[in-house]
């Protein structure tokens, strides 16, 4: 169900249209082994060309429709797609980017409608309407090795640099579903419904999309996060489970708007995309006491989730235990060995859901995969004696203050507990005496008069001296984040550098 349009699409219609879409792709010259790109916000028809490509052995790159031309240029240069299917929101940037890349020979198809930027561009909706019905009983999908054939190219989060094209195979997707279909993790059935805000171009989003089609539960789509529309949809459709990213959990824990809606149908929230602080978990639970909040940890490169929290087995602050068929080690780069429980190191994972590699960059793939087949995440964490995992921070984002290693995530979690703070991000800035000093960028709650010194003192009263905000506090309108809710610390550093 698309909340914006009020229209819906049943699984039978999805099957019919996706089979017809194979004929459309074939008529556009697409064949097994090719790559196409989909650049669109969430919509009912998003899955149609995606599924058609799967049947044909065609790899689909899913991209953010809000990418700048620079970001789009980088992503399309990686995949070199033969066809681009895009929405009206992205078509102008797509055309400009193709010109800059000298890719004018690439075909563009618009999902639906027309635009001043769309002269001579076919409408996918019209092509579907004009394509004859294909009987599923007589349709023969392509045969291929699922462990080798790419299903998806998804862009990595790019929190510390340029994003990379992550190749996810059909076998990777199948392995990821061993976790998602399990009763102790999600247990979604055909009779269930969930209100869904996560973008389909994100690993978490596309897996839930495919999960919905496979099982048949109702997916209520919002194209972007609008607080009142989100709460109204939850009130009207009454889901028992929600998939969220941390910024929306912060909203549910702090926003006064929540008091005006009945969201008591929700009994379970699964949070992914970025770690959530223990205090946020506590605050959200206090406000919604009949709610179970479960955290998972994963990356695009490891097929979505590496760890997840099982029903009724929650440890606050933990991202859960290893999902089925996933192995892990915590690696000490100084000692060059895996460490025991409760010791912090780099989180490394191995399993059938781990990516095939980075598209067009064997060197980057080799850098993050070791000789034992473990993917090195670049995230610091540890596990306890019960096998529960805890995320500390990104290795590259640790702030070195007078020899101390200061975690931005720890400071961000503390600052978010201040009642006048809506959001925040912490970076290390150059300091002549200390090397680096923590600087907090803060978004105020509306109608508050909190000052820089208020927040500096608030932190100083609650944490050791080496972790104080020695770089100060600056107020900002918005914290830059990825679609999954991860803070783009490098963007905050750019903001700081521009201010010098």
Scan for tokens 């824990």, then name that residue. 253
CA atoms within a 13 Å half-sphere pointing along the CA-CB vector of 29:
9
Phi, psi dihedral angles at 132 (to 5 degrees): -70, 155
Q: What is the pLDDT of residue 499?
A: 87
Token pair in block for residue 107:
């075909």
What pLDDT is stored for residue 465 in this prediction? 86
Residue 434 CB contacts under 8 Å (≥ 6 apart), including other chains: 401, 402, 470
Measure the CA–CA gap between 338 and 336, rounded to whole angstroms: 7
Q: Token pair of 416, please? A: 């978010």
Angle ∠(109,111,113) on CA atoms, nearest 5:
100
Give the integer Cα–Cα distance in Å for 431 and 264.
49
**With contact defined as beta carbons under 8 Å apart, do 330 and 342 qualify?**
no
Cα 371 versus chain centre, distance: 28
In the beta sheet, which residues pair with residue 406? 399
| Measured distance between the N- and C-terminal CA atoms of the chain, rounded to whole angstroms | 48
> How remote is the C-alpha of 72 from its chain's centroid?
18
Could you give the CA distance from residue 69 to residue 77 in angstroms, rounded to a whole number?
12
Distance of CA 9 to the CA centre of its chain: 24
Phi, psi of 492 (to 5 degrees): -65, -35
Six-digit token string for 256 = 């006064």
By the 8 A CB rule, do 439 and 427 touch? yes
pLDDT string in tens for the chain (500-residue length): 999 889 999 999 999 999 999 999 999 999 999 999 999 999 999 999 999 999 999 999 999 998 888 889 999 999 999 999 999 989 999 999 998 898 877 788 888 766 565 667 889 999 999 999 999 999 999 999 999 999 999 998 766 667 899 999 999 999 998 888 888 888 889 999 999 999 999 999 999 999 999 999 999 999 888 999 999 999 999 999 999 988 899 899 989 999 999 999 999 999 987 788 888 899 999 999 989 999 999 999 999 899 999 988 999 999 999 999 999 999 998 889 999 999 999 999 999 999 999 998 899 999 999 999 999 999 999 999 999 999 988 888 889 888 777 889 889 999 999 999 999 999 999 988 888 999 999 999 988 999 999 999 999 999 888 899 999 999 999 999 887 788 999 899 999 999 87
- Distance, CA of 472 to CA of 272 (rounded, Å): 30
CB 69 within 8 A of CB 95: no
Q: For the CA atoms of the chain, what is the radius of gyration?
A: 23
Give the separation between CA 437 and CA 383, rounded to whole angstroms: 29
**Which domains does the chain show, CATH number per domain?**
11-144 (3.40.50.980), 174-394 (3.40.50.12780), 398-499 (3.30.300.30)
Whole-model pTM: value is 0.86
């Amino acid at each position: 169900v698309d909340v914006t349009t009020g229209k819906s699409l049943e699984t039978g219609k999805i099957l019919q249209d996706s089979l017809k879409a194979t004929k459309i792709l074939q008529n556009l010259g697409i064949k097994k082994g090719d790559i196409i790109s989909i650049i669109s916000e969430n919509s009912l028809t998003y899955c149609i060309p995606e599924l058609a490509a799967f049947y044909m052995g065609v790899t689909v790159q899913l991209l953010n429709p809000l990418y700048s031309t620079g970001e789009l240029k980088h992503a399309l240069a990686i995949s070199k797609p033969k066809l681009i299917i895009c929405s009206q929101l992205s078509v102008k940037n797509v055309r400009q980017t193709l010109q800059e890349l000298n890719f004018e020979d690439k075909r563009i198809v618009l999902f639906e409608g027309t635009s001043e930027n769309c002269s001579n561009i076919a409408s996918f909706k019209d092509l579907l309407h004009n394509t004859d019905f294909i009987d599923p009983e007589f349709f023969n999908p392509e045969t291929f090795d699922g462990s080798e054939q790419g299903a998806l190219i998804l862009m990595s989060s790019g929190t510390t640099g340029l994003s990379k094209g992550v190749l996810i195979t059909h076998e990777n997707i199948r392995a990821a579903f061993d976790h998602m279909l399990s009763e102790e993790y999600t247990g979604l059935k055909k009779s269930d419904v969930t209100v869904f805000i996560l973008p389909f171009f994100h690993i978490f989003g596309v897996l839930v999309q495919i999960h919905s089609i496979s099982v048949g539960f109702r997916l209520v789509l919002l194209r972007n996060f609008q607080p009142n529309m989100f709460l109204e949809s939850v009130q009207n459709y009454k889901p028992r489970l929600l998939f969220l990213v941390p910024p929306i959990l912060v909203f549910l824990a702090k926003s006064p708007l929540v008091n005006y809606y009945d969201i008591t149908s929700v009994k379970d929230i699964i949070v992914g995309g970025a770690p959530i602080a223990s205090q946020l978990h506590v605050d959200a639970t206090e406000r919604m006491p009949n709610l179970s909040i479960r955290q998972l940890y994963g990356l695009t490169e490891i097929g979505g989730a590496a760890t997840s929290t099982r029903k009724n087995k929650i440890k606050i602050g933990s991202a859960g235990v290893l999902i089925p068929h996933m192995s892990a080690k915590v690696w000490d780069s100084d000692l060059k060995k895996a460490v025991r429980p409760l010791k912090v190191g780099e989180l490394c994972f191995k399993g059938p859901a781990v990516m095939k590699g980075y598209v067009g960059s064997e060197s980057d793939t080799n850098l993050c995969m070791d000789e034992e087949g473990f993917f090195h995440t670049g995230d610091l964490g540890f596990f306890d004696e019960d096998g529960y995992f805890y995320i500390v921070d990104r290795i590259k984002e640790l702030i070195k203050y007078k020899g101390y290693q200061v975690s931005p995530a720890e400071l961000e979690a503390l600052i978010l507990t201040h009642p006048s703070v809506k959001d925040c991000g912490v970076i290390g800035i150059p300091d002549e005496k200390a090397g680096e000093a923590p600087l907090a960028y803060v978004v105020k709650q509306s109608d508050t008069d909190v000052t820089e010194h208020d927040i500096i003192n608030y932190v100083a009263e609650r944490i050791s001296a080496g972790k104080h905000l020695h770089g100060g506090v600056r107020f900002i309108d918005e914290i830059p984040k990825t679609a999954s809710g991860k803070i783009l610390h490098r963007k905050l550093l750019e903001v700081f550098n521009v201010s010098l």
